Amino acid sequence: MAEAKPDRRNGRTVSRGAHWIEWLTGGLCTALVAAMIAWIASNAVIGSDRAPDLAVRIIRQQANPGGGYAVSFVIENSGTRTAAAVPVTGDLKDGDRVIETHEVTFDYVPAQSSTTGALLFKTDPSAHMLDIRASGYVDP
Amino acid sequence: MKTLGTSATGNRDGSGKSADAVTPAKFLVGIGRGVGGALLFALPMQMTMEMWELGFTMDRWRLVLLLLVAIPLLIGISHRIGFEETFSWREGARDAMIAYGLGIVTSAVMLTLFKLLMGNMPAQEIIGKIAVQAVPASIGALLGRSQLGGGKDDADDDPQPGYGSELFMMAVGALFLNLNMAPTEEMILISYKMTPWHALATILLSIALMHAFVYAVSFRGGHELSSDTPWWHALIRFTLPGYVIALVISLYSLWSFGRLDDGSFTPAMTAMIVLAFPGAIGAAAARLIL
């Protein structure tokens, strides 16, 4: 945009003739910021039920070379709110009798995200019934 | 540190202004200022637990990338605020590398002082801890050499900086504050506490503050808006690109420090907006200060 004003000697005035590339950059950035605002605003309007929704799914069981067994799992939060300090408890049962119980705590499970972890057992979980669940959370 | 000694006596002659002829004593003063700057800017990070942990938890490729990105960044800064008006790329690279060296040495000394580095640690951990601190410390060293220098206030006789240079300085300012804050857990914690409405308000406040900081208020070094320029010209050409730069730097810092690894798109975006708030302030202030 040629504003036909001479450059001021003492400095950085915005009225100096702007190169087209400044307007191109500015235009692209304006579009980006507008898109981001629109996305957040749509989230704000839609996302009214704000609660975590936690589910735990086992992905792998394997024997550790150093002894014991690792059970890897995914914890998914399909809700629209982040859960903090989430304990995941694993009970290894033989009928009604609980053989082993272990627990790990996730600092955060962000909204609409999943994260992974593992529980370590002494006995082989594949020979028994394994129950893994998220047993609580704290609102951040 | 040997290279410092040689460059003190060596290649400066003949290029600079005669009044500023570099003697070994002057060079040592410059080094002292660099150390002062590195301490001033990097101590908050050197005394932050998350930064120590990053020394051994940070993904090694991301650390390498950060260390490499720092080199052109430091050369760019020394170009923009270099003490000599007769700037050559060789001098810029030399100043940048001196600053990088000072950053590494001061970080190593400080971490040793705090008993965070010990002989029985694996080399991986020791080097990682120093490396992650060296980047902010080296930026501090470079800024310290110019800002603590005094008497070299170049705001008035600066050649008019180009558009790219203006955006570059915004990126430096944003990166500087972001490196301080991105490692801390509070950034993601705040983003988890926020509702989308809070995020929206943060975006608008960031842009408004950034715009006010440099354009509406005619601070030293700030843009003077002439009365016939519509306010939105400056908003589109400078403030919004500056904010996007703050967002990108914020995203890069969070990714570098592994803060985005578990999250999906929306939580990552909220964390980016949270961290871009100090980034925007840093970006706006950089052009006033530097």
Q: Does the beta carbon of B79 lie under 8 angstroms from any beta carbon of chain A?
A: no
- Which one of B266, B287, B288 makes the best mutation probe of the A interface by having the most chain A beta carbons within 10 Å? B266
Inspect the interface and report whether the beta carbons of B262 and A12 lie closer than 8 Å: no
Residue B156 lies in a domain: no
Q: Which of B228, B237, B244 sits opposite A18 (nearest CB)?
A: B237
pLDDT for B54 beyond 60: yes
B138 and B169 inside one domain: no
Note whether residue B32 is domain-resident.
yes
Question: Does B135 reside within a domain?
Answer: yes
Domain presence at residue B212: yes
Claim to verify: residue B122 and residue B171 sit in the same structural domain: no
pLDDT tens digit string along B186-204? 999 999 889 899 999 999 9
Q: What is the mean pLDDT of residues B47-58?
A: 92
Q: Quick one: B105 and B174 in the same domain?
A: no
Q: Averaged over B32-53, what is the pLDDT?
A: 91
Residue B260: closest C-alpha in chain A: A110
The proportion of chain B whose per-residue pLDDT surpasses 70, expressed as a percent, equals 79
Name the amino acid, one letter, at B171.
A
CA distances (Å), origin A136, targets B98, B132, B190, B220: 52, 36, 21, 54
Please indicate, yes or no, whether residues B116 and B183 belong to a single structural domain of this protein: no
Q: Is the pLDDT of residue B6 over 80?
A: no
Residue B2 lies in a domain: yes
Q: pLDDT per residue over A52-71, tens digit each?
A: 899 999 999 888 888 889 99
Instruction: Give the distance from residue A96's alpha carbon to the nearest chain B alpha carbon, in angstroms.
Output: 36
| Residue B89: predicted pLDDT | 78
As a whole number, mean pLDDT of residues B275-282 equals 95
What's the CA gap between B19 and A136, in Å, rounded?
A: 71
Q: Using the predicted structure, report yes or no on whether residue B9 has a pLDDT greater than 50.
A: no
Mean pLDDT within B260-283: 91
Are residues B267 and B178 located together in one domain of the fold?
yes
Model confidence at B230, pLDDT cuts 50, 70, 90, reads confident
Across B260-268, average pLDDT: 84
* pLDDT at residue B88, as a whole number: 76
Q: Mean pLDDT for chain A?
A: 84
User: Quick check: A43 and B203 CB within 8 A?
Assistant: no
The residue that leads in pLDDT, B13 or B36, is B36
| pLDDT at position B147 | 66
Q: Check pLDDT > 50 for residue A7.
A: no
Tell me the Cα Rg of chain B.
20
Residues B33 and B91 in one domain: yes
**Which sign does the torsion angle of CA B96, B100, B102, B103 carry?**
positive
Q: Are residues B141 and B197 in the same domain?
A: no
Provide mean pLDDT across the span B66-82.
Answer: 87
The answer to whether residues B281 and B166 belong to one domain is yes
The percentage of chain A sitting over the pLDDT mark of 70, rounded to a whole number, equals: 85
Cα–Cα distance list, B146 to B31, B83, B142 (Å): 11, 7, 7
Final residue belonging to a domain, choices B124, B151, B178: B151
Is A1 or B23 the better-scoring residue by pLDDT? B23
pLDDT > 90? residue B119: no
Residue B42 pLDDT > 50, yes or no? yes
Q: Choose the final residue of a domain: B117, B151, B185.
A: B151
Q: Does B218 fall in a domain? A: yes
d(CA A99, CA A90): 11
3-state secondary structure chain B: CHHHHHHHHCCCCCCCCHHHCCCHHHHHHHHHHHHHHHHHHHHHHHCCHHHHHHHHHCCHHHHHHHHHHHHHHHHHHHHHHCCCCCCCHHHHHHHHHHHHHHHHHHHHHHHHHCCCCCCCCCHHHHHHHHHHHHHHHHHHHHHHHHHCCCCCCCCCCCCCCCHHHHHHHHHHHHHHHHHHHCCCHHHHHHHHHCCHHHHHHHHHHHHHHHHHHHHHCCCCCCCECCCCCCHHHHHHHHHHHHHHHHHHHHHHHHHHCCCCCCCCHHHHHHHHHHHHHHHHHHHHHHHHHC
CB atoms within 10 A of CB B217: 11
Distant-in-sequence, close-in-space partners of A138: CB < 8 Å, separation ≥ 6:
A83, A84, A85, A86
Which pLDDT tens digit goes with each residue over B75-104? 988 887 754 444 677 888 888 999 999 999
pLDDT at residue number A125: 87
Q: Is residue B275 part of a domain?
A: yes
| Structure confidence at residue B61 (pLDDT) | 95
CA distance A100 to A92: 5
Query: How sure is the predictor about B169, in pLDDT bands with cuts at 50, 70 and 90?
Result: confident
Report d(CA A138, CA A10) in Å as an integer. Answer: 57
Q: Which carries the bigger pLDDT value, residue B259 or residue B234?
A: B259
Look at residue B19 in the predicted model and tell me its pLDDT. 46
Cα-flanking dihedrals φ and ψ of residue B144, to 5°?
Answer: -60, -40
Query: Residue A16: which pLDDT band, with cuts at 50, 70 and 90?
Result: low
Using one digit for the tens of pLDDT, what is the confidence trace for B121-159? Answer: 999 999 999 999 999 999 999 888 776 654 444 444 445
- Please answer whether residues A40 and B200 qualify as being in contact, where contact means their C-beta atoms are separated by less than 8 angstroms: yes
Same domain, B130 and B44: yes
Check CB contact of B227 with chain A, cutoff 8 Å.
no
Residue B159, pLDDT score? 52
Final residue in a domain of this structure, among B95, B122, B151: B151
Q: Which residues contact B51 (CB under 8 A, 6 or more apart)?
A: B45, B132, B133, B183
Give B189 to chain A, closest Cα distance, Å.
7
A114-140: average pLDDT: 90
The more confident residue out of A65 and A47 is A65
Which residues of chain A have a CB within 8 Å of the CB of B223? 12-14
Regarding whether B137 and B168 lie in a shared domain, the answer is no
On whether both B6 and B145 belong to a single domain, the answer is yes
Q: Which has the closest alpha carbon to B55: B151, B134, B141?
A: B134
Q: What is the mean pLDDT of chain B?
A: 82
Segment A97-112 shows an average pLDDT of 90
Number of domains in chain B: 2
Asked if residue B222 and residue B147 are part of one domain, the reply reads no
Q: State the pLDDT at residue B35.
A: 93
Could you please report the per-residue DSSP string of chain A? Answer: -----PPPTTS-BTTSPPPHHHHHHHHHHHHHHHHHHHHHHHHHHH-------EEEEEEEEEE-TTSSEEEEEEEEE-SSS-EEEEEEEEEEEETTEEEEEEEEEEEEE-TTEEEEEEEEESS-GGGSEEEEEE---B--
Q: In chain B, which residue's Cα lies nearest the Cα of A82?
A: B192
Q: Is B267 in contact with A110 (Cβ distance < 8 A)?
A: yes
- Percent over 90 (pLDDT), chain B: 49
Cβ contacts from A onto B, under 8 A = 123
**Mean pLDDT, rounded, for A110-123:** 89
Q: Tell me whether residues B237 and A23 touch, CB distance under 8 A.
A: yes
Residues of B in contact with A74 (CB under 8 A): none
Is B180 a member of any domain?
A: yes
- Residue B204 belongs to domain spanning: 161-290
